[in-house]
Structures are given as C-alpha cells and as structure tokens.
A and B are shown apart, each in its own frame.
Chain A
Amino acid sequence: MSRLQVVSGKGGTGKTTVAAALALALATEGKRTLLVEVEGRQGIAQLFETEALPYEERKIAVAPGGGEVFALAIDPELALLDYLQMFYKLGGAGRALKKIGAVDFATTIAPGLRDVLLTGKACEAVRRKERSGRFVYDYVVMDAPPTGRVTRFLNVNDEVAGLAKIGPIHNQAQAVMRVLKSPETAVHLVTLLEEMPVQETSDGIAELRSARLPVGRVVVNMVRPEVLDAAMLEQVRGTPRTALARSLSSAGLGGARRGGHAERLVDPLLRQAEEYAERYALEHEQRAVLSDLGLPLHELPLLAEGMDLAGLYELATELRKQGMS
C-alpha cells in the first residue's frame, strides 16, 4: 500500500470527502495518518466539524478501531518560510524576502513555486521518521487540486528542476519527484456517474500516465441507490395508469377516480420514473466506461441525510470493506 495517497477529482465530485474518509479508513488499529489540505479552503475543518485548521499538524479524529487521523492545512507562505529555516537556515532572510514581496511572488505568482512548496511539504511528511526509525505517519492522504490541474501540480517539480538546473531548489524538486513517481505514491480519482466527470477522469488518467505518475484507483462517489431495477422499470412501462391509480388508492392515498387524490399522483409519479429511467441508463453507460479504464473501482453511496461527521465514518467503513485501505 502506497504511503502517499493523493486524491483528486473534478470539482463537485466530493474529493475532499473521499480524502477524509480514506484517511479515516487507513487509520486502522495503531496506525497514524496525516490528511493534508493544499488549497486553503478549510474543507477538512468543515468536514470534521472543527474550527479552521492552523498551519500545524493536529489530531482531528480517532478512527474506528483506534487509529489516529491528523490534519494539516498547508499555507504556502508559511511553508516557504519553514523551508528557508529548515533547509537553508535563512530565517532572517526569509523575513526580508517577505518584506520586498518575494514571498508573495513565490507563493502566488512564480510559476509552480507554490505547488513545489505544497508537494514538498507533503513529501516531507511522508519521509519523516521518529528517533526510533518508525515513520511518524503510516500514511499521508492529500486532498489535491482537481483532475484538470493535478498532473501539472504533481509534476511541477520536474519543471522546476528543469528551470533551476542547480542549487537547493533543484535538489529539493528532484527529491520530491523521486517520491511522487515511485510506488510510494498512488493518485486516486474521484468521479460521479455522470458524463463530464467520467470524461475528465479518463482524460486525467491518460495525463497522469503520460507524466509517469502512479495512478491508483477510481472512486465513484455519491452513487444513488437503485430504487427500481431494470426489470421493475420494464414493469412500470407495462402498467396501466388506471390500475396504478387504484393501487395507490388501495394504499390509502385517496380516490382513484379522475381528479381523485390517488389518480392525480399517477402522472407525476410516472414522470419521476421516466427521469429515473433516463438517469439509470446514463449511469449504466458511464459505469461501463469506467470499468473499461482497467483500474480498481470503488463505489460510495450518496448519503440520504447529506454529508456530516457520521456520514464520513460510514464512508470510511465502506472503503475498508471494499479493500481500499
């Protein structure tokens, strides 16, 4: 099992949720995982229903079975100063750089430097060891940028190593790439059973592969329950409206005669079934596209009550059950 698990996906597919559930799922008995946020959205804090995370690793949850989940929201600016201090003993110069706008430049404008800092910090957490030689974190789960940008984000160090051909940044960039391109890393993509996210997933996989980044699994999120199966949909098509009206009426929903309460339900209910059937067919198509990708596929249910902390644990249990941890 790769120790750095990167989770990406099209916007709106719930990649932060999946990353958090995965961090919980991986924190089995005695294990410690670090959940890393790189986009400054504070999505993790919201999911775990805690206050905004500082730039500091802190325990946010105990997983089922007793493992621990830590979280870190990486602030690029602080990460840069951190770096300067840690690697180059440049604390004072760092402050001076900040004063002239160089830190702003590095973290918001300079090509890829921001991404270098973010991936660098995550890789540092992956490699960090205790005095005893044990890894501080058994797993690091990264809530990464969306599919459209993730390859560039992960690959940025390659580019930087090319731009800065010598010097500490060059060395640092190369060290990060060694982790990212090794089996130590797996990039998972989250999708929905809809055309655009599925298309983006397969494009994303192709991009990751051509950059020689290790593709992990595909997680289909928010899968709606199969309320009616294909056979039942067939049966719906063959059922007369009047019979339906009488059946609804017999269930206590009012009169079956024209204009009766039960009769007035028939059309809207059939229309909802029609929409369901259309979506059902589309979902089957998309599921087929996904299974052609040749990657392990996992499905997580849409939670009827919306996403909350309990739901997160439910998804983590589901991921464990499906062998993703």
Chain B
Amino acid sequence: MSPDAAQESSRRLAPTRVLDLDPLLDDPETRIVVCCGSGGVGKTTTAAALGLRAAERGRKVVVLTIDPARRLAQSMGIDSLDNVPRRVKGIEDSAGGDLHAMMLDMKRTFDEIVEAHADPERAAAILGNPFYQSLSAGFAGTQEYMAMEKLGQLRARDEWDLIVVDTPPSRSALDFLDAPKRLGSFLDGRLIRLLTAPAKLGGRAGMKFLNVGMSMMTGTLGKLLGGQLLKDVQTFVAAMDTTFGGFRTRADATYKLLQAPGTAFLVVAAPERDALREAAYFVERLAAEDMPLAGLVLNRVHGSGAAQLSAERALAAAENLEEPRIVDQVGGKAGLRNSPDTYGSSDSAESPASESTSGPGSPATEAATDSADHPATDTPAGAADGDHPAGDRPADARAADDRPVDEVAAGLLRLHAERMQLLSREQRTRDRFTALHPEVAVAEVAALPGDVHDLLGLRDIGDRLAANRPELPDSAGKTVDTEL
C-alpha cells in the first residue's frame, strides 16, 4: 500500500485517543488486567494474547480464563479442569518472563473456600448438603463470584506480577461486579438471619416476639419451597454460618482489589451495534463503581489497503468492466456504457458477440493506454501467468482474451465494494461510541479471517493489539509477492 493510502485509511479509523497497551503491560505497577465485555467479542482470546505478550516482554503472568474455546485451551495446555495454574510451554522467555494459565472450575473453587473456612466435620456436612450441591454448580452469579474469588486467591499468592482475567460470559457482562456485593448483602440480610434463626434459637423464650414474625415467614417459605427444601436450606445456612464471615470479608477485599490502582479494566468489543452498546454501558458502570478503566479493545476491525477507492466507484468500475459485452450486442456504442438501461441485463451478455473493443476515445481506453507506455514494468502476479496472453497485449486492443481478466477485475472490485461498505458500517458504529465516550482510549485489532488456536496466532493478536491502529491487510507482515 502506498503511504498516502495508509495514512488515509488510518485517519479514517483513528480513534479520538489511542490506547497504548505495551506501557500498560510493562508497567510493574500494573498487577491485574480484567478483560470484560459481552459474549462473542473475543474476550478470552484478548486475555490470552495480552498474557502471552506481557510474558514475552518479561513479566511473570498468569491468565485466568473462564470458558476458553477448546482448541485455544489445548494450545495453552489447560484443557483439563483442575483449577490449578499450568505453565504454558513454547513461549519466548528470553526476556525473563513466564506464563501460566488456568481455567476456572467453579464448583472446585467453591468447595475449596468451604474447606478452607470450616472444620472438616462441618465442611463435610456442607459439601454433602443437596442445597449446597445445587448452589455451588448453578447459583446464579456463582461463576462471577468464583472468578473474583479465584482472582483474590491468585493475587494473595503473590507468585505472579501480573494477573490477566477473562470475565464470565454473563447475561449482562456485569454480573461479576455485583456478585461480591450481592453475596454480601445476602449474608447481611434479614433472610439469612431468618433462615438461621430456627436452628439457632430453637424457640427460646426471650425471642418470642421475633419468633412470631419468623414462624410466619418460615411458614410462607415452607409453603413455597416445600418443608424439606427449607430444612435443607436451613441446615446449609447453619453449617455455613461460621464460613460466611470469611466469604464476606473476601468479597469485600476482592471488590476493593478491583478498585485499586494496580488494576486496569479493558472493555472488549467488536465494531457491532450490540457489542458497542454493551461496551458503553460497561464504561459507565465502571466509572460509577470507581473501577479503573484503561480503555476499549475493539476487535475484528476491518481495514482496506485500497480505502481511497470508494464502494460506489468500485461498483461502477466493476459494471463498466462487465458491460462491454452488452455494448457490443447493441451495436458497439461505447457511449452506452454508463447508461442505466444496461444495468442488470448482464445475463444476456453470455452471447457469442465477443469481438469486444472499446470504442476509440472512450474514457476507459484513454486510461488504459498509459499502461502501454511502460511495458517494462510488467511483472507476473502468480505462478500461472507466464503464458497468459493479456500480459503482452497492447492495451488499446482489449479483446475477447481480456474478458477473463476483466471478469476477475470486476470480481475483485465487487469484493472491495463489499469491504468498503463493511468499513463504513463499522466506522458509523464506532463513531457513535466515541461520541458518547470521547475520553475512552481505543486499541483496534484488525480482523483475522479465521479463529486463533495456537501461540503463534495469539502472538499475532498481541502484535495487532499493540500496533495502535488496525493493521491493514497489506501491512500484516505479508510480502507484496504473496500469492493467493
């Protein structure tokens, strides 16, 4: 791509503020990076790529993922769910860094907390309680809470100098912020006192006043839940009673940890309406909670090395290339080329009327002649071109042999038009976000045609993340001679 085209396309896509990720990752003060965003925007991949990049730049990193795609997990050696950080092999460690990764096992994490906070007998009672078993596996918000709990644990171990966290694919993508508070308020709430009361007080005389209200309540709950479930819940709550203090302290500690200066939140999104709407909501929410936002990572941004050619012009040119056949049929009047009447009738062009030459003096022919002045610049594009006649043909004699080339060119132009339409759609969506939140720094990551499932791919994403602007197709490290 020519430099001016590069400038033009990066200007078109340049965010108000550019998020520079390397300084963030390199800063020893940065201890926790939280990647959050709605589902399907590449959160897990972003977290893994950032972790790898930081490690290869010399930091001791652990990546906590929630639900990685199978092949990505395999590539990092964490496809087994054992809730323990595993060293990732195959990273470039010359800078002295290393990378561990782990996949969160929600139930296991919950069990560990119980075991850590209750004596063995009590722990066994809790772990065997049917209500607990259901709660630890499927508690609404358990995954969010456990992710934060695990983060707290990893931070407390102080074995890594950077923890990169991927957040659960929550319905609102924000539940993990609420989880500690919600659990806290539940534990402090009257309900829990109500539930524990019958077991603890057992109808002691002095508590009569309280008990009237409570028995009415437990009566209602019993009616709703069924007596046996209520009993399970009560037994569970009673058994957990001593453990709860620990829960609450940790929930508060984790929440404070998230607000601490060493923490950086990255909101991850794709340039799509829904994802960016969630991202905007997230940005507002983080601000409201005093959580430190580093910026927005915008994944899957499309660029074009030929952004100077608009979709409209590309389509017009494609039609132009496909039309001469029609022109021939109606008597070779080149002037009809741009007539709207011929548009859409290209089906009829499959006729044998093939001695196509553009009328002399048509704009296309004029433009084409300048190539004939420089035959020496001709270079083959692909391996198969050597015997292609069009390469040697004088430009003013575009004939039947050029037809396949024109078809190819028209196809490429239509493809380009589609790309440019996508580009402007993405830009509109992004501009809407920037207008709402001009203060948010943005790092854009160029779209890849396929999924990432190895370290090489993650490294590539890391490069793109740190590149400060979407790497346009032709600056993606491929040489100009790359063949299709």
Contact = CB atoms under 8 A, between A and B. Distances in A.
B81 to A, nearest CB: 15
A257 interface: yes
Contacts of B316: 252
Given A111-B138, A163-B134, A168-B224, A244 B194 contact: no
A232 B407 contact: yes
A254 B367 contact: yes
Contacts, number: 337
Interface in B259-314: 270, 272-275, 277, 304-306, 309, 313
A263 B38 CA distance: 42
B122 interface: no
B379 interface: yes
Nearest to A235: B408
Interface stretch (B85-93, B158-166, B246-254, B380-388): B380-388
A264 B4 CA distance: 11
Given A167-B224, A244-B408, A252-B364, A236 B484 contact: yes
B226 interface: yes
Contacts of A52: none
A177 B183 CA distance: 29
B409 A238 contact: no
A71 B317 CA distance: 46
A41 interface: yes
Contacts of B130: 163
Given A235-B407, A239-B405, A253 B309 contact: yes
Contact of B390 (A97, A159, A236, A240): A240
B367 A146 contact: no
B348 interface: no
A249 interface: yes
A271 B405 contact: no
B153 interface: no
Give the bracket for the number of chain B residues in contact with chain A: 35 or more
A279 B415 CA distance: 13
- Find the residue from A237, A238, A304 having the highest chain B CB count within 10 A: A238
A232 B135 CA distance: 56
A45 interface: no
Interface residues of A, number: 101
Nearest to A115: B140
B186 A101 contact: yes
By CB atoms of chain A within 10 A, which of B140, B377, B409 has the most? B409
Contact of B412 (A102, A111, A115, A272): A272
A294 interface: no
Contacts of A238: 382, 384-385, 388
A176 to B, nearest CB: 16
A253 to B, nearest CB: 5
A128 B480 CA distance: 65
B232 interface: yes
A134 interface: no
Contacts of A262: 367, 371
B404 A111 contact: no
Interface string A265-286: 1111111111111110010000
Contacts of A105: 186, 189, 191
A224 B425 CA distance: 15
Contacts of B473: 268, 271-272, 275
A269 B388 contact: no
Contact of B378 (A11, A168, A242, A252): A242
B1 A248 contact: no
B395 A246 contact: yes
Most B CB contacts (10 A, CB to CB) among A10, A115, A276 go to A276
A35 B82 CA distance: 41
A232 B185 CA distance: 63
Nearest to B40: A12
A102 B191 contact: yes
Q: List the 8 closest pairs (A to B, CB-CB), nearest first.
A: A11-B39, A12-B40, A256-B371, A268-B305, A167-B226, A241-B381, A240-B385, A11-B40
Interface of B: 1-2, 5, 38-41, 67, 69-71, 130-131, 134-135, 137-141, 169, 171-172, 182-183, 185-186, 189-191, 194, 217, 220-229, 232, 270, 272-275, 277, 304-306, 309, 313, 316-318, 320-321, 358, 363-365, 367-368, 370-371, 373-374, 377-382, 384-385, 388, 390-391, 395, 398, 402, 404-416, 418-419, 421, 425, 428-429, 449-451, 473-474, 478, 480, 482-484
